[in-house]
Each structure stands twice: as C-alpha cells, then as structure tokens.
Structure 1
Amino acid sequence: MTAAPQVTGREISNPPSDGISNLRFSNHSDHLLVSSWDKSVRLYDASANVLRGEFMHGGAVLDCCFHDDSSGFSASVDNAVRRLVFNYGREDILGKHDAPVRCIEYSYATGQVITGSWDKTLKCWDPRGASGQERSLVGTYTQPERVYSLSLVGNRLVVATAGRHVNVYDLRNMSQPEQRRESSLKYQTRCVRCYPNGTGYALSSVEGRVAMEFFDLSEAGQSKKYAFKCHRKSEAGRDIVYPVNAIAFHPIYATFATGGCDGYVNVWDGNNKKRLYQYPKYPSSVSALSFNRDGRLLAVASSYTFEEGEKPSLDKTAAAAAAASAAYVH
C-alpha cells in the first residue's frame, strides 16, 4: 500500500452556511449543484470557482440533481419537489409528498423526475407539463419503508429504504419491483449507487461497510457479490466504526470513491478488491461525493452530519465542496 498522494483541492467560494446534504456535477459541463440544510440550492461553475445562482426554499434541502445546464430539481423538508430554472432564477413546484422528500433523480431514459420520500412512497413526475400536482404527477408507488437513497442506470432504478429493504424497478414498467431484496449489510443503509456499466449497485451503511451487489440473479451472477469493511480505525484496542455516507463511481474507469464520517475519502478498485489510495483527512465528515463528466474533478462535501448529535460549540458552516483535479488510473 503506497502513501496517500497529496491532492491539491480548492475550497469552493461562497459555500452554504450549514451542512451540505448533496452535490452533483452536470453531465454536460463543470457546473456543480449543491443542496444544503440552510434551505438553499446553489449553482457553481467549479472550474472558475464562481457562484452562478442561488435558490432559497421553505425548508432544508435534502437532495438536488440536474436536468441540463439550464435547469435542475430539488427535494426539500417542506415536502415540495421543485424545478429550478437557472438562467431566470425561477423555481416551480412540480408537486408535493406527504412528508419530507429525501432524494431526487432525473431519468434521461424516460424524461421523468423520480422522488423518494419519508412518506414511504416513490413518485414520478413529468417536468414538461404545467406545474401542479395533478398535471405533473405520473405515478405513485408505495415502498415498504421511508426512502433513504435512489440511484439510476439506464432504465433501472434502485430504491433503498429504512428496514434494509432494496427494490429494483424497470422504469418501463413501474407497476411492481423487478426485484425485492434485503440489504446484505446488517445495519441502516446510507447510500446506494448503480455501477456505470449497469450490472449492479454498491450499498453503504452506518456500520462502516460497503456491499457490492449484482442484478443477475443466477448462481454465477450472485457468486460475484461481496462486502468489505472501510472507514474504520483501531484505537486503544477498540475498533471504531464510521458510517459510509457517500459512494461515487468514476465515469470512465472501474473505480469508485467512498466518503465517511471519519472525514476520509477512499478510492477503490472494485474489480481487484483493493483500496488504491486515501485523500488527506477533511475537516469533518464527508457527506457527499460527485465526479464530473470526464472524471477529472471530484467534488467532496465536508460537513458535520450529526452523527454525534447536537454540538452547540461546533461551527457547522460547511467546510466545503472541494474540486480536486485527479485521474484515477489503475
């Protein structure tokens, strides 16, 4: 194991004033969308390190995603699903859930916005129609528990909920899940991300583990799956375990990054089941990760994730989304 390289990252200017819930690079540029507990969604040009726009909501924003470079979407604690029009600084409410909206994805395959909520439902929206619940809502799909994380690849959608449930859908037929699974990890799910090649997904949990799963249910397909420990340390003979909050796959190479409450980002070679290297420690927990479209940049959200409860003395100002120029070659 070689020493971790010293990565030169720069702090994004004008960061949110509270914890970062998620960040996403555009599929078309180096624009970066950042959602925060300070009720804002901010649009940055990561290459120029410039804040391009800001939207304020009625509650903390738990997730965000791009449509294209002119618009995006957000999921908020105020139960609303919003479309954000960047050039005009305008926002429209597509509709609402009955509880906070935890996650949001835009499907390029179907042209729909997909949201998961703590009201135990998944909803699909048509952003091309007029705003309003009745006109935008395509379908509502009941989940076994509160939705914690979503991920898309092609026509496949993976939904991870409380109670360690995992539902796999084909977006072309949402009447029922294609597969109903239980997480192979023993504790609460934090993040799910599909492999870019469409063969499976990675799942992380609060117990400092990541499971590598495959859609192919044959014996040969399932024999490939495995789980591994990460974001842990030994101290005074005790094994200290940190939640794994984020997973991001490199868009070109078969590598991926994980971020944890230990403040570290690790980069892994999943095919050879080994860690390639570790970034220097960030000031606080790593809450979100995103590679840009060609994998040259990695955005890292470093902010307190309340893993130890309320800390009155803690400065919870987001320590940053850092865009680090690095190529992951193995």
Structure 2
Amino acid sequence: MASTSGGGEKLLTNPPGDSISKCLFASNSNNLLVSSWDKTVRLYDVSSDVEKVKYEHKAAVLDCAFSEDCSTAFSGGLDRELLMVDLETSSTTVLGSHKSAIRCIEHSERAKMVFSGSWDSTLDMWDPRAHNALAGSQDLQGKVYAMCLSEWRLVVGTSGRHVYIYDIRNMNEPEQTRESSLKQQTRCIRSHPDGSGYILSSIEGRVAVEYFDPAREVQDKKYAFKCHRSMDINTGVQTVFPVNAIAFHPTYHTFATGGCDGVINIWDGNLKKRICQFPAYRMGISAMDFNYDGSLLAVAVSYTWELGPVDHDRDHIFIRTVRSFEVQPKTKRR
C-alpha cells in the first residue's frame, strides 16, 4: 500500500518566469542548473537560496547540462545554438548550431564530448576543446524528444517511437535500434545508475523498464506499467497524464516519476511496487532531480501546455527534503 508523504520543502525565491524545461543538480554540491522557456539558464545554490549565475539565449531554452567538474554549463533550445558557458567567469562560447531546435544535451567526460539532439532529426557530437567543435553527426528517423547518458551508452528517443542505443566509443552507427514498447510519444528517458538499462516514459501515462543486454533471458525481464492516471468517481471517466520527468535516487536506485497531474510517485523497479506518493502540486511536474547524496529533490512545477493556452499559476521550483522511508526499497516478503 503506497503511503502519502508530507516531507518538508521550500520554494526558491527567484524562479524563472516561464515553463521550466530542466533542473539538474551538480554532482558535487547543492548547486542547481535550471533552463526555461523564459530564455534563461540559471544556477542556484539551493542551500542558501541564492541565484549565483544567470545567462540568456535568444529564445526558449529546452535543455542544459553540466561539465564533469560542474564548472561549465551547456545549453540549447529554440534559437538552435549550442552554448558553452564558464560558470565562474560567464565567458560564453557558441559551440555550433542545428537547423532546428536543440531538444536534448548530454556531456561525457569519458569521451570529452557534448552530444546534442535536435528536432532537425540529427544527433551531433561536439569537442568543446577544439576550434572547429563539430566532431560528427548522425541522421536519425524523427525528431529527438529525449536523451540520456550512462557511462559509455547514449540512449536517444525520437518521434515515431524510435529508440537508438549508442556506444559513444563508436558513433558510426547505433549499437542497437529499437521501437519503444509504449504506444505513444516518448517524453523522458533516464539510464539506470548501474548501467543495466533505462526507464522510458510517454504521454500516455505509462512507464517502461528496459535493459540493454539483448539476450532473451534479460529482455524477458523488461516490463511496462500504468501510472499518473485519475478516475472520476461520478462519471467513471479516466484521465491519462503525460509522464514528463524521471529521476533515480543516487543511493537506493529507486526512481521517481512526475506527471502533468502534479503527482510524484517513488517506485521500486525491482519489486515492481510504488513506495510512496507525494501530495499533488497545483500544476504539472515538468522536471526534477535528486541531489548528489539523495537528501534533496528539486521539483519544477510548471504548466506544460498540455491543454493549450489557459490561465495558470506561476512556475515554481520546490526543494524537498527526502526522508529515507520515501525512497528506500521495501523488504521483499517471503
């Protein structure tokens, strides 16, 4: 039986002025990088509730990423430019551009590369140390909608429910090409911390647990489940909400999902059980991330235009204190 949590949380006092597309904790501190449709990328110290850095694009920003040491930010969006910004000096470099919006960005310290996925149906590789930064490009079937990096594997989800799995040591072709096991458009992909696979969500209120190993006995373990749905007790009509965000807990490897219903669920993927559910926020969850030790969860509460142009509350970022029972796997009953 899932429990409902009442953990403590606080609001960041100076959130972006439009929908929040990404929030990402640094790997070594409580600094939080946030991109937004208000054209900005901001760096907050959530411990002191201070906005440390703010820089702007020419249009809405759809994704951002840290360098390995978290001294540099990479970002892109509707202006089609991939920016690299020194967070200490605010020095800005345009690494390159796409023919359409940049939807997803990942940085790999292992490969010394930045990967950008675009609505122009390409995946580009950039060397931030080089004068001519473009190091390669892959044509894909469909617009890039989601992307994640885990060690040497890069997973890319595109329109048409295509999923590409690359070994970044050999980007000449995908290691695997799959079709999403979910029936509707991919919304988010996140790699499992142990490198065994990934979690994929869609607009249909469903989540799929997938594994990289193509062996049949491993693929037989994959599964999908319904979530982020509500039933009207008077009419019996069920409303299905897109699952916008997935975040893994760094210690327990349980994972959170956030949807347009404003609800966050915490799941034990091994036992296929929900651990807890947080009380619903007033708008949908557009992005979220655990900090480096799993003690905090950043929650971006934003209207994501799923109902078109309607009046809505201001966008907020909540910093939630995480309690161990909310994220710790349940003991398996004998």
Using structure 1 for the length normalisation, give the TM-score: 0.96
Partner residue, 2:5: 5
| Distance (whole Å) between structure 2 residues aligned to residue 321 and residue 87 of structure 1 | 25
Residue 32 (1) aligns with residue 32 (2): yes
Gap runs ≥5 in structure 2 = 330-334
Partner residue, 2:305: 306
| Distance (whole Å) between structure 1 residues aligned to residue 87 and residue 13 of structure 2 | 19
Residue 173 (1) aligns with residue 170 (2): yes
What letter corresponds to residue 109 of structure 1 in structure 2? R
| Distance (whole Å) between structure 1 residues aligned to residue 25 and residue 255 of structure 2 | 16
Measure how far apart 1:179 and its partner are. 0.3
| Distance (whole Å) between structure 1 residues aligned to residue 248 and residue 137 of structure 2 | 29
Measure how far apart 1:76 and its partner are. 1.6
Measure how far apart 1:69 and its partner are. 2.9
Partner residue, 2:332: none
Where 2:3 maps in the other structure, the secondary structure is coil
| Distance (whole Å) between structure 1 residues aligned to residue 272 and residue 3 of structure 2 | 18
Contact 2:44 2:51 in 1 (8 A): yes
Where 1:197 maps in the other structure, the secondary structure is coil
| Distance (whole Å) between structure 1 residues aligned to residue 202 and residue 75 of structure 2 | 24
Partner residue, 2:72: 71
List aligned pairs for 1:156-305, cutoff 5 A: 156-235=153-232, 236-305=235-304
Deviations 1:229-253 (A, max 9, x none): 0000111211110000011111111
| Distance (whole Å) between structure 1 residues aligned to residue 100 and residue 164 of structure 2 | 20
Distance 1:93 1:321, change over 3 A: farther
Q: Which of the residues 312, 322, 329 maps onto 2:319?
A: 322
Contact 1:112 1:125 in 2 (8 A): yes
Measure how far apart 1:90 and its partner are. 2.3
| Distance (whole Å) between structure 1 residues aligned to residue 18 and residue 43 of structure 2 | 16
Where 2:187 maps in the other structure, the secondary structure is strand
Using structure 2 for the length normalisation, give the TM-score: 0.95
Deviations 1:79-105 (A, max 9, x none): 000001111122211000000000101
Measure how far apart 1:314 and its partner are. 2.6
Q: Pick which of 231-240 and 253-262 moved more.
A: 231-240
| Distance (whole Å) between structure 2 residues aligned to residue 277 and residue 64 of structure 1 | 29
| Distance (whole Å) between structure 2 residues aligned to residue 2 and residue 238 of structure 1 | 23
Measure how far apart 1:2 and its partner are. 4.6
Partner residue, 1:116: 117
Deviations 1:179-213 (A, max 9, x none): 00000000000001111111111110000000001
Contact 1:122 1:140 in 2 (8 A): yes
Partner residue, 1:14: 14
Contact 2:2 2:274 in 1 (8 A): no
| Distance (whole Å) between structure 1 residues aligned to residue 156 and residue 110 of structure 2 | 17
Measure how far apart 1:324 and its partner are. 2.9
What letter corresponds to residue 14 of structure 1 in structure 2? N
Measure how far apart 1:129 and its partner are. 2.0
Measure how far apart 1:108 and its partner are. 2.0
What letter corresponds to residue 290 of structure 1 in structure 2? D
Where 2:217 maps in the other structure, the secondary structure is helix
Where 2:4 maps in the other structure, the secondary structure is coil
Contact 1:12 1:323 in 2 (8 A): no
What letter corresponds to residue 120 of structure 1 in structure 2? S
List aligned pairs for 1:57-136, cutoff 5 A: 57-67=57-67, 68-130=69-131, 135-136=132-133
Measure how far apart 1:272 and its partner are. 0.3
| Distance (whole Å) between structure 2 residues aligned to residue 31 and residue 140 of structure 1 | 32
Gap runs ≥5 in structure 1 = none
Contact 1:206 1:244 in 2 (8 A): yes
| Distance (whole Å) between structure 1 residues aligned to residue 266 and residue 3 of structure 2 | 13
Deviations 1:275-304 (A, max 9, x none): 000111112000011111111111111000
Where 1:163 maps in the other structure, the secondary structure is helix
Contact 1:147 1:159 in 2 (8 A): yes
Aligned-residue Cα RMSD (Å) equals 1.1
Contact 2:126 2:136 in 1 (8 A): yes
Where 1:122 maps in the other structure, the secondary structure is strand
Q: Pick which of 68-77 and 109-118 moved more.
A: 68-77
